[in-house]
Amino acid sequence: MTTNNKQEPILRVENLRQYFTSGTGKKKLVVKAVDGITLTLHKGETLGLVGESGCGKTTTGRSIINLYDIVDGAVYFKDVKIAEGAMQFEKQIDALKEKKKELKKAVKEQEASTSQADLDSFMEDYQKQIKELKSRIRQARRLNAENKDYYDKIQMIFQDPIASLNPRMTVKEIIAEGLRINGERDEKLIRKKVADVLEIVGLLPEHAVRYPHEFSGGQRQRIGIARALIIDPEVLIADEPISALDVSIQAQVINLLNNLKDEFGLSVLFIAHDLSVVKYFSDRIAVMYFGHIVEMADSKELFKNPLHPYTRSLLSAIPVPDPEFERHRKRFAYHPSDHNYGPGNMPEFHEIKPGHWIYASKQEVDNYKKDLK
C-alpha cells in the first residue's frame, strides 16, 4: 500500500501477522490478533491507528518494536528489514510434505497419472527445497537479534504510566536504563542527559531522585516519554498515552508530543481510540477492526468521506458537548455480517481515490465510488 506522500517511508510494515495460541491438540486455540496488515510511516508524519478495544492496535505496536516476535510478514526501518516472520516458509514446507505424501500414495495405488518417475523427479528437488526453506526460517529468527541497533531508533510510550515504570527504581535509573544497556558508563554524562531530558518533558532535574509513586499520572507519563527520548529515537510508537489521564492532563501531554515531534523531527505512530484526539494530532488515520486495517486516509479526508461502515460507526460514537444534539443524534451500528463475503467475493485493499484506501470486495468498491460521487 502506498500513499501520495513523496517522502520515502521511515517505517514500513508488510503483511504483518501476530497469532497467539492456547492449549494443545484438539483444544488448541489460535487467536489472530493481527491478521495481515500493511502500513507505512513517513519521516515527520503522525499516523493515527484507531479502533475499539481488542482490535489489535497495541499488539501491532508491540510487534513492530519487537516485544513480540512476529508470526509472518516483515518490518522495515529505512528500507532495512529488521524483522521477519517464518509462517510463510513453514506453510511451504507443509505443502511440500503433503505433496510428497500424495505422490507416494498415488504410486503405491498404481494410479495411471502418476509413475515412480514422477516421484523420483519430485524427490530430486524436495530435499533441496526443504533445506532452503529451513535456512530462511533460521534467518528470519536471527534477524531480530542481528538488527538490534535499529530498534534504538524506534521507541515506545506505553499505555499504563503506572505499570510501565519499575516502582523499585528511581526516575534517574528508569530513564538512564536505555543508555546503560547501550554501553554508556560515564555517570557524569548520564546525570546530565537525564537532567536535560527531564527539562524537555516539563519536569525538574530534582525529580531524578524520586520514585514513580511520588508523581501524578500525567507526570508519570512524562517520565515514560523521557525514557523513550533519551536515546534519540527517530520513530515514536505512542500506545494510547493519554487514555489513563484526566482531560486537562491529556491536553498537556498531546501538546508536549506535538512540540517534541517538531523539535526532534520525530515520526509518530499514535495508537488511540479517541477519534477526536486522533483527528487533531494525526496527518493520516488507519482504522483497525478485528486484526485488519479496514480504511486508511488523510485525517481530513477520513472525517469528510468515511466509507467503510465500521469507520462510520466509530465516527457516529464521538460525543458532542451539546445536550440537545446528543438527545436526538442517531448512532450507526456496525454489523460485520452485512458484508456477505464468500468465495469469489473476498475483500482486498483498494485505493478508492489517491491516498484513500479501503478493505472491501470489488462489489463494495463500486458502491463506495458511487457514494463519493
The domain limits of the chain are 87-146
Instruction: Note whether 238 and 257 are within 8 A (CB).
Output: yes
Question: Rounded to 10 degrees, what is the CA torsion of 188, 189, 192, 198?
Answer: -120
236, 361, 356: which is closest to 299 by C-alpha? 356
Question: What's the pLDDT score for residue 151?
Answer: 85
d(CA 371, CA 305): 9
d(CA 165, CA 149): 23
Question: What's the pLDDT score for residue 4?
Answer: 44
Question: What's the pLDDT score for residue 6?
Answer: 47
Question: What's the pLDDT score for residue 206?
Answer: 94
Exposure letters 239-257 (e unless 16+ CB within 10 A, then b): bbbbbbbeeebbebbbebb
Question: What's the pLDDT score for residue 5?
Answer: 47
Residue 304 CB neighbours (<10 A): 9
Distance of CA 62 to the CA centre of its chain: 7
Question: What's the pLDDT score for residue 2?
Answer: 45
Task: For residue 77, give the C-alpha cell.
Answer: 526501518
Stated pTM of the model: 0.88
373 residues of the chain, pLDDT tens digit each: 544 444 679 999 999 999 998 888 888 898 999 999 999 999 999 999 999 988 999 999 999 998 888 999 999 999 999 999 988 888 899 888 888 888 888 777 776 666 777 777 778 788 889 899 999 888 888 887 777 788 889 999 998 888 889 999 999 999 999 999 988 999 999 999 999 999 999 999 999 999 999 999 889 999 999 999 999 999 999 998 887 778 778 888 888 899 999 889 999 999 988 788 898 889 999 999 999 999 999 999 999 999 999 999 998 888 888 888 888 888 888 988 888 888 888 899 999 999 999 999 988 998 888 877 6
List, in order, residues 6 or more apart from 80 with CB less than 8 Å away: 147, 150
